[in-house]
Amino acid sequence: MCVTEIKAQIHFSTQMLQTIAKKMDGISTASEEGEEVTSNVDITFPIDSKENLLLVDEKLQIEESRKKVVSIIHNFAMKMI
């Protein structure tokens, strides 16, 4: 895997995490306002709070952790092809 591919994957992963953070903010806001929050997807996401998401983001700032995540995502994607 070349540096360009790693940078592209990190950019994609960062965008995904930012999207998840925004959605989690929306869920927290809706819950605080007493609105019912429903999901069409029956998946338990391992990052269940904004604090946990921020911890993951901090860990991704470490190059070794980032490489592990990229490797796992790459392996998973290759299985899906």
pLDDT in tens, 64-74: 888 888 888 88
DSSP string, 7-65: HHHHHHHHHHHHHHHHHHHHHHHHHHTT-----S-----S--SHHHHHHHHHHHTSHHH
Query: What mean pLDDT is predicted for residues 3-28?
Result: 78
Phi, psi of 22 (to 5 degrees): -65, -45
Average pLDDT, the chain: 75
- In this structure, what DSSP letter does residue 79 have? H
Q: Which H/E stretch holds residue 75?
A: helix 63-80
**pLDDT value of residue 9:** 87
Query: Is residue 27 very low, low, confident or very high in pLDDT (cuts 50, 70, 90)?
Result: low
pTM, 2 dp:
0.40
Query: What mean pLDDT is predicted for residues 56-67?
Result: 88
